[in-house]
């Protein structure tokens, strides 16, 4: 049963990625302006003859289906082509940036779960108390403060009060240095996600706390911790897991701004720059990479349901 489910999911994943590749490829070429125009921008003019020569050199004069074919063939053989901007292999440009963003995303997610989940439980258990109100204010602030603004405030506070600025100017020498460097940016991004997780955990917990089996556990004399964390949270965590999965996939959006403000050379900031420059090989490869991550995280989230809720069984 599980095998046929897995095969079905893998097929679906493949079709999703194929569809994504077409959408990415076509959309990118529908955006006005192309890389050659942008190249000429730094020269302050556009020469039609020189432009045509460069387009030919980059293969942009080929029909769109031919360009797509070349890209897909390259992608399958892990040849991502060359960056139009730096004229370096795209894999060399993208490769070193992935671990940076991955670490930042993981740390952000860690922060958001670390604070979001227990504070959501506390807020629900202490419903309508001063603590609950305080936590709700914090969570609302997290949802309403734009992360770029928060990031800038953090930087300004650091410069004003400590005279130092925690931005990335050179590769950190030790893991500890790296962790220190990522701490503030991941807190800025994680704050929003933790607020969302906190609110969802709270509402989910409140719903579960009204169930008969919780009342039964209480009447049996189970401890508060056992009721809250063993019985209630385990059942309340299912919708939260979905949100964590979605947040993990879409964390890249929050990271774009944070990487820009904290000057972290990750893929998120790099992707935006590549889009602005119409650096097709970079954008296509990176968006495909992100699409793969999203699809895989969705798949893992679905698998996690079964682990978290024994009532869920996978079948075709």
DSSP 232: I
N- to C-terminal Cα separation, the chain: 7
Complex with other proteins: residue 203 or 260, whichever CB lies closer: 260
Pick from 98, 131, 167, 303: which binds other proteins (CB under 8 A)? Answer: 167
Q: Which residue's structure tokens are 């809720």? A: 309
Q: Does 95 bind other proteins (CB under 8 A)?
A: no
Residue 82 bridge partners (DSSP): 89
CB of 48 to other proteins, least distance (A): 8
Residues 195, 101, 166, 93: what is their CA dihedral angle, to the nearest 10 degrees? -150
Residue 174 C-beta: closest distance to other proteins, Å: 19
For other proteins, the binding residue among 46, 134, 180, 312 (CB under 8 A) is 46
Q: Residue 85 or residue 106: which is nearer to other proteins going by CB?
A: 85
**Alpha-carbon torsion (237, 241, 244, 250), positive or negative:** negative
Q: Give the C-alpha distances (Å, rounded to integers) separating 19 from 64, 67, 254.
A: 16, 16, 25
Q: How far is the CB of 186 from other proteins (least distance, A)?
A: 17
Quick one: which segment of 78-86, 198-206, 212-220, 246-254 binds other proteins (CB under 8 A)? 78-86
Q: Which of 117, 122, 214, 261 binds other proteins (CB under 8 A)?
A: 261
Task: Assess 8 for contact with other proteins (CB under 8 A).
Answer: no
Q: Determine the Cα–Cα distance for residues 199 and 176; give it in Å rounded to an integer.
A: 32
Q: What are phi and psi of 82, to 5 degrees?
A: -115, 145
Interface residue with other proteins, options 99, 146, 239, 265 (CB under 8 A): 265
Q: Does 231 bind other proteins (CB under 8 A)?
A: no
State the binding string over 200-229 for other proteins (x if CB under 8 A, else -).
Answer: ------------------------------
Q: Which residues contact 100 (CB under 8 A, 6 or more apart)?
A: 264, 265, 266, 267
CA-CA distances (angstroms) from residue 74 to 53, 67, 82, 289?
A: 23, 11, 11, 14
306 binds other proteins (CB under 8 A): no
The verdict on 44 binding other proteins (CB under 8 A) reads: yes
Q: Is 50 among the residues that bind other proteins (CB under 8 A)?
A: yes
CB of 32 or CB of 310, closer to other proteins:
32
Interaction between residue 277 and other proteins (CB under 8 A): yes
Binding mask 117-136 for other proteins (x = CB under 8 A): --------------------
Binds other proteins by CB under 8 A, chosen from 41, 66, 177, 316:
41
**Largest Cα–Cα distance of the chain, in whole Å?**
85
Which residues have C-beta within 8 Å of that of residue 179, sequence separation ≥ 6?
Answer: 107
The two tokens of residue 174 are 């030790």
Sorted by sequence, the CB contacts under 8 Å of residue 90 that are 6+ apart come out as 80, 81, 82, 83, 281, 282, 285
Interacting residues with other proteins (CB under 8 A) = 32-33, 37-47, 50, 53-54, 83, 85-88, 93, 152, 155-156, 158-160, 163-165, 167, 169-170, 260-263, 265, 269-270, 273, 276-278
């Amino acid at each position: 049963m599980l095998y046929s489910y897995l095969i079905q999911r893998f097929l679906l994943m493949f079709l999703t990625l194929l569809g994504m590749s077409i959408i990415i490829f076509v959309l990118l070429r529908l955006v006005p302006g192309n890389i050659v125009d942008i190249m000429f921008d730094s020269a302050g003019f556009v020469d039609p003859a020189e432009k045509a020569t460069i387009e030919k050199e980059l293969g942009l004069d080929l029909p769109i289906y031919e360009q797509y074919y070349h890209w897909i063939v390259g992608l399958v053989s892990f040849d991502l082509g060359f960056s139009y901007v730096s004229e370096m292999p795209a894999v060399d440009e993208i490769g070193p940036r992935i671990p940076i963003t991955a670490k930042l995303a993981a740390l952000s997610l860690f922060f958001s779960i670390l604070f979001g989940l227990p504070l959501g439980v506390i807020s629900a258990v202490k419903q309508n108390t001063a603590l609950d109100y305080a936590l709700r204010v914090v969570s609302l602030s997290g949802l309403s403060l734009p992360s770029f603004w928060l990031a800038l405030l953090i930087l300004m506070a650091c410069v004003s009060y400590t005279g130092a600025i925690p931005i990335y100017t050179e590769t950190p020498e030790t893991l500890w240095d790296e962790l220190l460097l990522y701490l503030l940016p991941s807190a800025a991004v994680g704050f929003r996600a933790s607020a969302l997780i906190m609110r969802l955990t709270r509402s989910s917990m409140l719903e579960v706390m009204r169930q008969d089996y919780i009342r039964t556990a209480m009447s049996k004399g189970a401890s508060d911790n056992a009721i809250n964390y063993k019985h209630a949270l385990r059942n309340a965590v299912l919708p939260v897991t979905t949100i964590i999965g979605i947040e993990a996939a879409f964390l890249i959006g929050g990271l774009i701004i944070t990487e820009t403000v904290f000057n972290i050379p990750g893929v998120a900031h790099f992707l935006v720059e590549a889009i602005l420059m119409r650096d097709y090989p970079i954008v296509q490869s990176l968006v495909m990479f992100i699409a793969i991550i999203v699809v895989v995280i969705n798949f893992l989230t679905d698998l996690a349901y079964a682990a978290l809720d024994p009532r869920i069984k996978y079948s075709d």
